[in-house]
Structure 1
Amino acid sequence: MDEIYRSQFRLPYPLYEQLKASADANHRSVNAELVARLEESLVSDSFDDSEYFTSLPGSTTRYPTDRGAGALERDLRDVRQQLHALTKLVRDRLPSVDHPEHPDFEPSTKK
């Protein structure tokens, strides 16, 4: 990322604790976890599912297309597997968060 927008957000403490626990489970910083979750949310908002579901003219009821929901589940599983492999590859190549070369490194101010 060439351009980084620096900001400060206020979160309810219980939400921060959940975010921190998720970041720890995913072996990344809270900032990286927040960015990943925002990216995932924004990508899913723009997902076009017309290949999998359709509506009859004048109706809001959704019906599976010929590919159907089973194909959607298989495609999502394949994407998850590819994302998991890519995440592992990136994680293996990045220095730890405590290393100065890591993009989320923040020097300790504790003495």
Structure 2
Amino acid sequence: MSERIQVYDGFCLTCTMGSGQSFISVPVSHGVCISGRNQATVMDCEAGVHISPFGTCRKTDPQKPCSPVILTPWLIDDKKYTINGEPVLFTTSILSCARGGIIRIDGKP
């Protein structure tokens, strides 16, 4: 997704090593909603809470079910916009999985 849009609960995600799509979950409001859904920040990056599995992982041989390992927050290009001191997540952001994949925001819910 080349357009820079603020991300909120339900946006589609893809991983370069995953076989399928996932979605970002923002179960706790940071105090801002867009279209009635919680807006995301760079700290919405916890596997199993904010980031669901992407089918099977192509990095493993034989391929096994995806189990993302996230060690750092989302990487962003603009920290000017914040919610409660945390930078807002945009569609241009990326997230690294320690298993070797790059997670990108792929589209609106």
Fold in common (TM above 0.5): no
Select the structure that is richer in strand. 2
Normalised by the size of structure 2, how large is the TM-score?
0.24
